[in-house]
A and B are shown apart, each in its own frame.
Chain A
Amino acid sequence: MEPKVSRHESNQSEETDDQLLDKVIAGQAESFNQLVKRYRSRIFSYGYYLLHSCDDAEDMTQETFVRAYLNLKKFRREASFYTWLFRIASNVGYQHIGKLSRQRKMKENYANNQPAGNQQECASPETMLLKTEVQQVVFEAMQQLRPKHREALILKEINGLEVQEVANICRVPEGTIKSRLNRARTELKKQINRMSRLGGELVQ
């Protein structure tokens, strides 16, 4: 269950988040670029797996960083910047889901195998994503989950956050996250089995 990319891997020889935040608040807006570079792929991945749309994921990423920059003074530093950023991303993501009924659109997009938006940018993730058959099935099955369950699963399994961090992002108790994860896994397994039967082949 180790995350693929360590969160602080790229920070080792660089300034910490707090130092960069201090600089941004002091007026050095360029320092915010470093924060964007540091976290944009994680936020984008989170958005993509949550919304299953490159366009929406990119919009979400952009909106997340814009809100973060504009509300930087409200950041009380009780949690890490990373958690706070994900909290914003989560809010933005839910707004996308609620506003546009993304789930139905997601199914259509996936059925057509034509991801919306920038095809060149999304072609790479798609091919990467569909690298293995199992990943393809899991990815498809994930879209059938409820957004809350999917969010917990993405944050915990794909982004490699701890349960406590996920709980902070979702603003729910840890027990709730564990429950959501459990239900998400059970539901994911059901979906995979169903899809495997429909496809005439088993995952195994």
Chain B
Amino acid sequence: MKCRTCQTIIEQCYYTAGTATQLMEHIQTCSACRQAWQQQEMITQALTTMPQLAPSDALQANIWQSITARQNTSGFSSLFTKQRLRLWAAAAMLLVLGVTSVLVNQEQHRPAPISFNHKTGVTQPATQPDANKIAGQNKIDETQPAKVPGNVATKQHAATSETKQNSQPVIAKGSGNQEEPIKQTKIRTYRSPFTSFSVSKDKKKSMKTLVGKSEVNQAAQSYTASSGQPSPGQTMAVDAPAQHQFRLYNNKINVNQQEAARITLSLHQGKKLSLAIYSRTGRLVKMIANDFLIPGDYEWQWQGKNSAGETVGSGIYLLLLQLEGEKPQKQQLVVIK
């Protein structure tokens, strides 16, 4: 047996009948291996002869005392052990943080309210008490969908001279016969003995009826003339640019790859519009929208299909936006097959 093998066996303490005999023969002749073996044996013997120690006599009593104490703390009180209390505290903190972050997030996304001074006609940021008030009033405006299918004007006779309606977005007629441009970011409606107008979910047919009602217009007009203030019941146009943003994204679409042109429109006042795709020869390919829309942001997608749902051929097409009373706007788009 080689010294290396011998020392490996000694280190691992792995003796079999065969290896033990060879080991003994080897260590008779090799002093280094004999020393290693003796050292290992000594350590092993020291370990195996380590005494078994006895605990104190009070151990048994302590054990039962501890068992009794823990059994008494079982049940409901065990929910509030030191370790579990930490877990409860951590869970509560997470809950509070979550609720706080949601509330803060909601608060940050709420637009700043504005106020309108009737006497000066100046729009300015509301003071804090007014801001809270207006914010509460406009809460529904923010959450309402941008598109309202139609408008119904209801004539109401309110007891108070000025009541702010806040339950629905409101479109009202201006003081003149024609529709007043509603320049607004916040819509406010004033009820008066004369009239007030509110939008319901009915179709625009009734809205058109309202527009044509001369008695309402005359009443509002006379009120404005006499008081020098906007007529109660009017929706005020407040602090907003009258620019409509009409954009076409992805004006080159491959219909085989299911691409779609994206059309966006940011409408700042209620308008009747028609949005359609025409071929280069002027043939109507697809009417995308033909409706009365209230102010808001809109988006449509055209996937290269005509009114019959068939995929159109390759070529150049025109996207035409016609807003009532405004110059038509057009965009070109290319369809690839």
Contact = CB atoms under 8 A, between A and B. Distances in A.
Interface residues of A, number: 49
A41 B54 contact: yes
B66 A134 contact: no
A157 to B, nearest CB: 4
B70 interface: yes
Interface stretch (B36-44, B178-186, B198-206): B36-44
Contacts of A42: 52
B11 interface: yes
Which label, helix, strand, loop or mixed, suits the secondary structure of the B interface? Answer: helix
Contacts of A49: 50
Given A3-B48, A139-B50, A158-B48, A61 B59 contact: yes
A160 interface: yes
Interface stretch (A76-84, A86-94, A95-103, A180-188): A180-188
Given A33-B60, A70-B70, A121-B55, A186 B11 contact: yes
Given A132-B46, A138-B47, A157-B47, A44 B54 contact: yes
B245 interface: no
B60 A36 contact: yes
A138 B52 contact: no
B63 interface: yes
Given A36-B63, A66-B67, A45 B53 contact: yes
Given A5-B52, A41-B54, A185-B11, A134 B60 contact: no
B281 interface: no
B241 interface: no
B257 interface: no
A81 B45 CA distance: 28
Interface of B: 11-13, 35, 38-40, 42-56, 59-60, 62-63, 66-67, 70-71
17 contacts: A3-B48, A4-B48, A49-B50, A58-B55, A70-B67, A118-B56, A125-B54, A129-B50, A131-B51, A134-B43, A134-B45, A135-B49, A135-B50, A157-B44, A182-B12, A188-B43, A203-B42
- Which 3 residue pairs are nearest across A and B when measured between Cβ atoms? A157-B47, A44-B55, A125-B53
